[in-house]
Amino acid sequence: MAVTELSVAGFEHVLIERDGRGRPRSIVVVHDTTLGPALGGVRLASYPSADVAIEECLALARAMTLKMAVSDLELGGGWSLLIGEVADKSAELLRAHGRVIATLGGRFIPVNDVGTDQADLAVIGEVTAPVCAQGDPSPWTALGVAAAIRACARHLGQQDLTGLRIGIQGAGRVGTALAELLAAEGAVLAVADVRSERAAALAARTGASVITPDSMITAELDVFAPCALGGIVDRESVAGLRCRAIAGGANNVLATPEVAVDLQRRGIVYAPDFCANAGGVIFLQGQLLDHDSAAIRARVLTIGDLIAELLVRARDAGITTTQAAVDRAHARLAAER
């Protein structure tokens, strides 16, 4: 196993493991462990270059630190990637990734993400500990996103979700659970997924309409809920948005920080993604601390209170909701240090 460590300002560890040809295949990043060991996903995906993969891993790790801090959790932020196709996934590849994680001596706790599942985490757990493979966090992420959407709706003057037009981009585990929750509360749903058959199946279960992923960004909606990969809202696409609010389960929804300012100028309410989608990590911390499901559920539902607080703070201070959330997270980190 050939592992090298990059020195990146502001990050505690950036580890890269290469295959026999010298190509990066495994990246593990620990951003900040001020609040506790870093929790982060194991994402399996292909990338146009190693640099692109590293940049995404750094961004996701940084976002995890903010998520833990703003949500008052006792965990730090990190992330990891396996570079390749899902079809190439193997026990050997997963164990190699686990051995890289093991060199950190418990400072990084992996959980499944895009391209991996809990069975994969169990394989990783054969060579490193701890790992989070005790339960699927996706329904808890969706529960928190639903709470964030309710907070946004109230901020817009609607007390419940009845008749609220909500577009869910991504019909994976989080998007599916979210659609089921929102449909039960009377929302009018549209769903989209790059796999049209998956969107169609979700629509059949929830009464949603199906639209294409490309048209979702410009659909006339009350709430746009991105629940797939990040970077979906960039400076170019903001002009075409016809939603009143954005609150979803994806990480790094905004392509760049400047997009938050663009949304503010257009009067579009934004629930910062690292707050709205924190339900999964709240569940995972609860699993690590052996909390029961009732306690975890109560904690996840406080995401709505957090979003409401940030919306008011941003409005009163004349700043973006993202800045309000970042300020809150940095204040907690500074106090802990």
Burial class (CB in 10 A: 0-12, 13-18, 19+), 90: exposed
Query: Which pTM value belongs to this model?
Result: 0.89
Bridge partners of residue 188, in order along the sequence: 165
pLDDT, averaged across the chain = 95
The pLDDT of 31-54, averaged and rounded, is: 96
b vs e for 47-59, b when ≥16 Cβ sit within 10 Å of the residue's Cβ? beeeeebbebbbb
Q: Looking at residue 2, what is its pLDDT?
A: 84
Domains and CATH numbers, the chain: 2-65+75-124 (3.40.50.10860), 138-333 (3.40.50.720)
- Geometric angle at alpha carbon 250, from 246 and 251, rounded to 5°: 110
Which tens digits make up the pLDDT trace of 205-255? 999 999 999 999 999 999 999 999 888 999 999 999 999 999 999 988 999
Closest C-alpha to 14, from 96, 111, 66, 81: 81
d(C-alpha 285, C-alpha 167), whole Å? 29
Which tens digits make up the pLDDT trace of 2-26? 899 999 999 999 999 998 888 889 9
Token representation of residue 154: 């109230």
Q: Looking at residue 135, what is its pLDDT?
A: 82
In the numeric block, the tokens 């959790």 are attached to 73
d(C-alpha 28, C-alpha 317), whole Å? 37
Assess whether pLDDT exceeds 80 at residue 39. Answer: yes
In the numeric block, the tokens 């909701």 are attached to 321
Task: Tell me the DSSP string of 235-290.
Answer: TTGGGG-B-SEE--S-SS-BSSTHHHHHHHHHT-EE--HHHHTTHHHHHHHHHHTT
Task: Tell me the DSSP string of 91-160.
Answer: HHHHHHHHHHHHTTTTSEEEEE-TT--HHHHHHHTTTSS--B-SS--HHHHHHHHHHHHHHHHHHTT-SS
| Residue 134 pLDDT grade (very low, low, confident, very high; cuts 50, 70, 90) | confident
Most confident of 95-104, 107-116, 249-258: 95-104
Residue type, 184: A
Q: Looking at residue 86, what is its pLDDT?
A: 87
| Residue 114 pLDDT grade (very low, low, confident, very high; cuts 50, 70, 90) | confident
Token representation of residue 183: 């449909």
Which tens digits make up the pLDDT trace of 301-317? 999 999 999 999 999 99
